[in-house]
Every structure is written in structure tokens, then in C-alpha cells.
Structure 1
């Protein structure tokens, strides 16, 4: 997942080992149930695309995490405290990590540099369990790992942090489905399939909502919660219309770099990296000839808004 092991006794290995059969069973159950009901949203092209994306992500992560883990280990050497590994300290860590995940996930939608990799996860125009595997091989470089450094600095051992991260990510697999409707009182506290369907939707009222990992209370606390009412329309605002994994991965980083290289003030050009994905430059008063329209039909300089 996000971290590799610091030791041979890393408990997160057991979490992932136990979760894998559950993943496959849920995908099989969901595909079979939808096929029986004649409303399957699994397609061969997109399923293969998801598999390719997941495989490429795992391969790159093996190398990138050597650096990531080195940074976390170095920070832990300068920790403020040494937090013991107990069930109650894990509960504290789990809540803290979930709050930092909310911050990281929200930033991944509001900072274009981070969105350039996270957009891959949102580009599928369907919602099913295989969507959870849809990750970019650029994620280790554009991803969330710096947001968890305060945990190791406070004194939580890196393998303890790793366990909390992986428990969170395992939980999130199970919210990627349309088969589970609303879950009653659990909807008030937990991120549920209903809440996460909103997050993946491109309906105007659903964009940039429900960033939660495990606890939906963060969205309710910080004003980003939206309840599922209207049927979600999944995907990004300007759909890719392709299942090519290379286009899926690189379309937004290429667009971001192209926008940053366009002539103009350096500050404006760099803003394409850290401004929200929908930000566009003011038109120069000297630009009398805009040239031919871009192929996607958008105004020049406009990037697809985050979903």
C-alpha cells in the first residue's frame, strides 16, 4: 500500500494478506449479482485497465517507497515522544491518521499537482469494487505520504503508522459499490458506499464532497459533506472516453505541464501546479489571435475541474 515493511514482523502484512481473498470474493460476488440482474457495470476494457493500473502502481511503489520509508525513519529518529504499541494507542493513531487522510485527500482535489495523479482513481464512469484498484503509478511521487510525517514525528513507530494506513485503505475498498444502499445509523459516523458514491460523482452538487476515509465526521465538521439524493453520474467532468492505461495515467500531468509552459508571467505559469484543477489564467490584453480552439473544446488554459 502506501508504505513498505520496516521489519519482518510488520503487522500490516497480515492485514493485506487477509484482505486479498476478501477483495476477490467481493468482486466476484458483485459481478455475478449485477450480471444476474442484467445491469452489470463491469466491462472487459475497463476491468483490464484497472488491473493494469493496479499492477503498474505496485511495481513503481516497490522502488519509490525505499525513499519514502527512509524519510519516515529519519523523522522518527527525532520524535517528540515514544508512543507504546497498545490497543488504545492504536485507536488514537487510527483517528489521527484518518483525520490526516481527510486533509491529504482534500488537498488531492484542490491542488493540481496532487490531482494529476489522483484523477486516475476518479476517471472511471462506473462504480464497482474494481474501481478501488484504479491507482496511478505516479502516486508515490504526487501522493499523500508527506501528510503522515507528523505521526512519526509525534512518536508513533513507522510500522504502527503503516498498520493504521493499511487498515484505513482496506476499509475503503468496501465503499466502492452500488449494491450496498444506505446503512441506517452508521451513515452518521462512517464513510459508507452511499457517501463514497457521492465523492465519485460529477453531478454539480457532488463535486469535491465527502473526502472521508473511514469517518464521515470530518466532512461534516469541515463543511464538505453531501448526502446522496440524486443518482450519481460517475467520472470526471470531461471524460476520457478511453480505457488506455497510458492515457489514463498521463493525460492530466501532460495537460498541467503544457499549461505551465505557455508564455506568461512566471508566477502565473507556476500557479498551474498548485492552484485548483479548474483554475485558469486571465486572458492577456495583447492576445488578439487565440489560434485554433483546443481539441477538447475547453477555453484555452482551462483544466478539467476535480471530481
Structure 2
């Protein structure tokens, strides 16, 4: 077992210092990004994620080693070039995990936590799920199957998580054009956290924005369309317990109560957020299409 450090724990002092610096820069630029109750909720969600993460990590390690020890196709050595391969493989896996988490309500139920804040700052990066770690790892199971050592996978997953911390800010407008073209940036990720119809379910990147450009989910941040953070319908609470589980409650209520066919009950679990069996719901694609028609109509007047 390669002895890699737990870089997330080592990064905690950096997180604190970075938030203090952002608070100072935001105040100097007269940008109001922090709200005390909201930030405390985000920090509480982060602490809960760390605590529950010990149990989730045990499940993930067991699953990765089970696949690696019994089913791996190759044995990829822990050498310099394999770290290059795992960088791209992990980022590809993250893109599809993130995209599906917006397109399937089963995964949205845990991921919605990260989008529940109506503010956008470095504390928002700490607003993490309490439940997702126990089952979203399935998107990475193909990596030990290929022959990547589980320790390498876990290290790269931590590196990706660490990278994504700094992009949760309004203190940075744009990075250099070459950087914006290849990497995920604060501008790209502000779009991802937007509830504006044009921004919904866009920019799912972890580190590399190239996947969104390749698979048609990229959206530039528009100067004329200021990002409105939060959800299409906000949850209106700072209670960490409610933030963690309110969407699970709504999911089970929609799937298992009322008069519905068995097929519709299953579809509530796997269809996108916003889907309704009676046709009254609106998906992000529908909301975006309606918004674009309205904009086009206004332009022709």
C-alpha cells in the first residue's frame, strides 16, 4: 500500500487563510459575498462531511480493493507516467459523476447540498454532502478495474477536490485566456452554481473544462447575465440537518406516496430533477429552451 499523505487534512489551515483573504479582498472591492448564517451552515456541512467521510472512505477503499484484487485487467505500476494517466482518468470520471448528479435525481439528492447556498464564496466549497460518499464512488470503479492502485485513485480524488476549492470565489474575475480555455476557473464554476436558466446544468468540470467543451455542456459566463446563485426553488433554511436530507425526503415522498404507477415511482428516482409524472414539471433543458425563446422574442421586437 503506497504511503500517500492525507492532503485534505494538511490543507485545512490553507482553507481558513484563503477564506480570510477572500473576505478582505471582497470587502475592499465592495462585494458582499459572505453572510454569517450561510457561511456557518456551509462550514457545518463540511465538518459533517469529514466526520461521516471516515465511514464512507472505508466503504470506498473496500470496494476499490475488491475490484483491484479480483478483477483488474492490468497492473499499472506506481510510477511518474501513471500519475499522468490517473490525472486524466480521474478527471474524466469526475465529469460524468458530476453530470449524472445533475441529470439523475438519485444522485442529485446528495449533490443538491453543494448548490443549496444562495451565496458564492470559498465557504461554499465546504458545503458538501453527508450521503454521497457512500454510493457515488461507483463512477470510479472502472479505475481499479483497469489496474490503477486504489491509493493512487484516492490521492488523485483528493487533489481534484483540493483544486476545486479556490474556484468558489467572486474575488477573481477571469484567468488568462489560455488557462480559461483548458482549466476550470472561478468564472466557469460561477456558471455551474447559477440558477439562471441559461446556466443550469452547465460546466461540470473538475479540473479540466475540456470535457464540457467536448460533450456539449459548456457555457461561458455572460457579462449581460449576472449569475444568480442557489437552486431554481431555494430551500430557505440554514439548518444543516435539513440541508443534508431535505431532497431525500422530497424524493421518497414523490416516489412512494400518492397514486402512481410502479413505473412512475421508479422514474422519480432516475429521471432528472424537476420531472413530474403528470407532465407539470420542468427540467433544466425545458427552462433553458423557454428562456432562450423569450430572449429571442425580445430581440426581434
TM-score scaled by length of structure 1? 0.87
Match in the other structure for 2:114: 121
Alignment correspondent of 2:265: 269
For structure 1, which segment, 241-250 or 162-171, has the greater mean C-alpha deviation from structure 2 after superposition?
A: 241-250
Superposition map of 1:22-171 within 5 A: 22-77=14-69, 78-142=71-135, 144-171=136-163
**1:80 shift after superposition:** 1.0
Distance in structure 2 (CA, Å) of the matches to 1:118 and 1:179? 25
Give unmatched runs, 5+ long, in structure 1: 1-6, 284-298
Report the number of matched residues: 281
- In 2: Cα distance, 1:148 partner to 1:251 partner: 27
Could you tell me which runs of 5 or more consecutive residues in structure 2 were left unpaired when the two chains were aligned. Answer: 288-301
- Name the counterpart of 2:274: 278
- Answer whether contact 1:236 1:304 (CA < 8 A) is retained: no
SS at match of 1:152: helix
Structure with bigger helix share is 2
- Over 3 Å counting, the alpha-carbon distance change for 1:250 and 1:17 in structure 2 is closer
User: How far is the alpha carbon of 1:305 from its aligned partner?
Assistant: 5.6
Compute the displacement of 1:248 (Å): 1.1
d(CA) in 1 for partners of 2:202, 2:29: 30
- How many angstroms does 1:12 deviate by? 4.1
Structure 1 distance, partners of 2:29, 2:238, is 25
Native 8 Å contact 2:201 2:284 kept in 1 = no
Structure 1 position 243 matched with structure 2 position 235: no
Q: How far apart are residue 43 of structure 1 and its match?
A: 1.4
> What TM-score does the superposition give when structure 2 sets the normalisation length?
0.89
- 1:95-135: CA deviations, max 9, x gaps? 01101100000000000010001001001011100111001
